[in-house]
Amino acid sequence: MMLMQSDIITVLLIAIVIGLLAYLIKSSLDYSKERKEIMEKESRPVKIIAVASCQQNDYTMEREFREGDFIGKIDGACPKCGSQMIIIKIYSLYMETPQKSFKLQLR
- State the residues that interact with other proteins by CB under 8 A: 2-3, 6-7, 9-10, 13-14, 16-17, 27, 31-32, 34-35, 38-39, 42, 46, 48, 65, 67-73, 86, 89-93
Q: How far apart are CA 7 and CA 71, in angstroms?
A: 77
Q: How far apart are CA 89 and CA 72, in angstroms?
A: 9
Q: How far is the CB of 106 from other proteins (least distance, A)?
A: 28
Smaller CB distance to other proteins: residue 27 or 99?
Answer: 27
Residue 27 amino acid letter: S
How many CA atoms, within 13 angstroms, populate the side-chain half-sphere of residue 51? 9
Smaller CB distance to other proteins: residue 35 or 80?
Answer: 35
Q: How far is the CB of 48 from other proteins (least distance, A)?
A: 6
Considering only CA atoms, which of 95, 87, 80 is closest in space to residue 51? 87
Q: How far is the CB of 13 from other proteins (least distance, A)?
A: 4
